[in-house]
Amino acid sequence: MCGIVGYIGKKQAAPIILDGLAKLEYRGYDSAGMAIYDGEKINIKKSVGRLNVLENLTHGGETMPGVLGIGHTRWATHGAPSDENSHPHFNKDETIAVVHNGIIENYLPLKKKMMDKGYEFRSETDTEVLAHLLDYYYKGNPLEAITKVLHRVEGSYALGIMFAEHPDEIFAVRKDSPLIVGQNDDGCFIASDVPAVLKYTRTVTYVENQEIVRLRDDHMHFYTVDEEEIQKTPVTIDWDANAAEKGGYEHFMLKEMYEQPKTVNDTISPRIKENDIVIEELNMSDEDILAVKKIHIVACGSAYHTGVTAKYVIEGLARIPVEVDVASEFRYRNPILEEGALVVVISQSGETADTLAALRESQARGFKVLGIVNVVGSSIAREADNVMYTWAGPEIAVATTKAYSAQLVALYLLAMKFGKVRGKISDAEFKEMLNDLKCLPDQIELLLGNKERIQRFANRYVGAKDVFFIGRGIDYAISMEGSLKLKEISYIHSEAYAAGELKHGTISLIEEGTLVAAVSTQPALFQKTISNMVEVKARGAFVLAVTCEGNKEIEKAADYVIYIPETNPYFANSLAIIPLQLFGYYVAVGKGCDVDKPRNLAKSVTVE
Ligand code: F6R
């Protein structure tokens, strides 16, 4: 959601900025722009549309010479996607340029104030108010102007700022929106995320809330909002730059689906030691685990779906009650957190605004928060009391696949650990479950190998209008994710229903030929789900079933069956989701959709 890249150094800035913005495309955007200082003045080029529009407009950056600049990909919040609303934004004399990720919540009163002072606004954005406020407070000292503005604005922001009168420096600021800075021998960089600078440097510093960075070509200084200088320690990024490249696959999503055996293995293996599960990062003794009376899982989107699965797994294996909340609801419903509650937030990006707010809300009430996070060093990772990383590596496609799978297995580990410590799983069961866990990567590989069959089936549904996914218990959680995967990338309307619930209204939407995907992986519920399949089939539905090997009876009620290998029923989600991911992917490819960057979506949702 909005990407920021800035550079100051010995090289031409525009190509570096364009390159960095391309690496942030996965965040989602609808327009792009750059401000470059050419030795005399700041020039801005910006346009609605994809990054290639800006690349063409500037001949790959060649027509914007200069060694310092800031760039931006915008995901519209205030004001429609348009050239005027694109960033950067100028002050009135075009001597100060600003790019912004986040939302200035009090921009309306500030805008009115600035208009009363004679400032004219050229855009409908909240961001432009920052450019005029900086203009108003700037009396020759950029740092002073920035701190004065920060004391007046409310909301979230990551900013890149440049002043024509200070052509040897650019500024970066952050509050509740991600921002990193980096340095190499040629210059210094600002970026919303590490992949944007990885080609140039592995030495990065995470900017914390309300810190200001002054970047020159050979050094960086960090300040508080009170202009006090602070020292920060850079970190070295050790992940492979190739991990953020497509590596021969047609789409990042396909590549990431194919990485799932590895990410599942990478998340499980380091935590299985001598036939036990050791999760050091939990920082919980057996006594602490025994003292947990309730678990609250809070997340958004697909991460929420892993939470719904975890509810069944944790309650089943550890017999601890679990409540699962969508983060945007949790924070405003005054949740009841009582002694013995453990809050678990799940997030790939570690930057999702609502999940972060839920974490803070829980901590403010005195509860410890465990973060299950993918992006190392992200806000949630830094603010959670304890962090269990999912080792999925950088996920670029907007629709999550490998991070989702890694989250699932991290939650299985947690459930098994709690179940064992609480004496709810026998040694024999635990041993068998460990074996089943270790088999998951190979079984996922096997299912991925079946992609042609799913592709052929998917091709029949590129023209579908509505698709329904049904399942019971864990299968309902799988259905929710299968449905989201399809709709978010193919734009086909789809809904997930608890299989028994369909007949309470929604079944009226079933017409001749409507596709109903029935997920049935829980042996105890096979018969029940078959009854629901028969109900929709009788009304003309075409029934696709995803079930376990050996459940031949389902063929009586299904028109097409995909079998998943045998595993512990609690782990079935990890297998059943693979054909559903492939189905969504191939329908979207068949429709010619922009699979990796679906319309209207952002990878990292840093606004509420
Ligand atoms: C769907 C998807 C989203 C995210 C959600 C939470 O494919 O990716 O639903 O799961 O926006 O994001 P994180 O996990 O970054 O908090």
* Residue 238 pLDDT grade (very low, low, confident, very high; cuts 50, 70, 90): confident
Dihedral over alpha carbons 584, 589, 593, 594 (to 10 degrees): 90
* Percent above pLDDT 70 for the chain: 99
144 pLDDT more than 90: yes
On whether both 217 and 265 belong to a single domain, the answer is: no
- Specify if 606 maps to a domain: no
- Specify if 607 maps to a domain: no
For the domain that residue 345 is a member of, what is the CATH number? 3.40.50.10490
On whether both 57 and 99 belong to a single domain, the answer is: yes
Of the residues 396, 418, 448, the one at which a domain ends: 448
On whether both 287 and 234 belong to a single domain, the answer is: no
Count CB atoms within 10 A of the CB of residue 452.
10
Q: What is the mean pLDDT of residues 138-145?
A: 97
On whether both 313 and 182 belong to a single domain, the answer is: no
On whether both 226 and 260 belong to a single domain, the answer is: no
Q: Whose CA is nearest to atom 5 of ligand 1?
A: 301
Three-state DSSP state, 448:
helix
Which two tokens mark 34? 């750059």
Q: What is the mean pLDDT of residues 158-173?
A: 97
β-partners of residue 235 are 204
Phi-psi region of 123 (alpha: psi -120 to 50; beta: other; left: phi over 0): beta
Q: What is the mean pLDDT of residues 482-487?
A: 98
Identify which of 346, 352, 485 to mutate to test ligand 1's pocket (most ligand atoms within 8 A of the CB): 352
* 578 touches 447 (CB < 8 A): yes
* 348 touches 375 (CB < 8 A): yes
- Tell me whether residue 23 is one of the annotated catalytic residues: no
CA of 333 to the centre of ligand 1 (A): 21
CA 283 – CA 260 distance, rounded (Å): 27
The tally of CA atoms less than 13 A away on the side-chain side of residue 374 is 25
* 312 touches 570 (CB < 8 A): yes
76 pLDDT more than 90: no
* 317 touches 424 (CB < 8 A): yes
Which two tokens mark 518? 């029935």
* Residue 226 pLDDT grade (very low, low, confident, very high; cuts 50, 70, 90): very high
On whether both 230 and 335 belong to a single domain, the answer is: no
On whether both 406 and 268 belong to a single domain, the answer is: yes
606 pLDDT more than 80: no
193 pLDDT more than 80: yes
What is the reported pLDDT for 603?
Answer: 78
Of the residues 448, 474, 501, the one at which a domain ends: 448
Average pLDDT, the chain: 94
Tens-digit pLDDT profile for residues 434-484 = 999 999 999 999 999 999 999 999 999 999 999 999 999 999 999 999 999
What is the reported pLDDT for 176?
Answer: 84
The tally of CA atoms less than 13 A away on the side-chain side of residue 219 is 4
* Residue 178 pLDDT grade (very low, low, confident, very high; cuts 50, 70, 90): confident
Q: Which atom of ligand 1 is nearest to the CA of 407?
A: 14
Q: What is the mean pLDDT of residues 253-273?
A: 94
- Tell me whether residue 603 is one of the annotated catalytic residues: yes
CA 275 – CA 570 distance, rounded (Å): 19
Q: What is the mean pLDDT of residues 368-388?
A: 93
Nearest to 180 by CA among 156, 161, 196, 163: 196
On whether both 218 and 259 belong to a single domain, the answer is: no
What is the reported pLDDT for 431?
Answer: 96
Residues 6+ apart with CB under 8 A from 336: none
On whether both 186 and 225 belong to a single domain, the answer is: yes
Domain count within the chain: 3
Tens-digit pLDDT profile for residues 32-58 = 999 999 999 999 999 999 999 999 999
What is the reported pLDDT for 502?
Answer: 87
Burial (0-12, 13-18, 19+ Cβ within 10 Å), 239: middle
- Residue list, ligand 1 pocket, CB within 6 Å: 300-303, 347-349, 352, 355, 399-400, 484, 488, 605
- Specify if 605 maps to a domain: no
What is the reported pLDDT for 249?
Answer: 87
Nearest to 474 by CA among 316, 348, 327, 261: 316
CA of 169 to the centre of ligand 1 (A): 36
What is the reported pLDDT for 242?
Answer: 61
Residues 6+ apart with CB under 8 A from 191: 3, 4, 5, 6, 20, 24, 179, 180, 181, 182, 197
Tens-digit pLDDT profile for residues 325-367 = 999 999 889 999 999 999 999 999 999 999 999 999 999 999 9
What's this model's pTM, rounded to 2 decimal places? 0.79
Of the residues 420, 448, 476, the one at which a domain ends: 448
CA angle (195 as vertex; 399, 208 as ends), nearest 5: 100
CA 8 – CA 16 distance, rounded (Å): 10
On whether both 121 and 160 belong to a single domain, the answer is: yes
For the domain that residue 65 is a member of, what is the CATH number? 3.60.20.10
What is the reported pLDDT for 16?
Answer: 97
CA of 395 to the centre of ligand 1 (A): 11
On whether both 453 and 544 belong to a single domain, the answer is: yes
Identify which of 308, 605, 606 to mutate to test ligand 1's pocket (most ligand atoms within 8 A of the CB): 605
What is the reported pLDDT for 27?
Answer: 75
- Specify if 604 maps to a domain: no
Task: Give the domain extent around 370.
Answer: 241-448
- Specify if 579 maps to a domain: yes
On whether both 339 and 363 belong to a single domain, the answer is: yes
The tally of CA atoms less than 13 A away on the side-chain side of residue 72 is 32
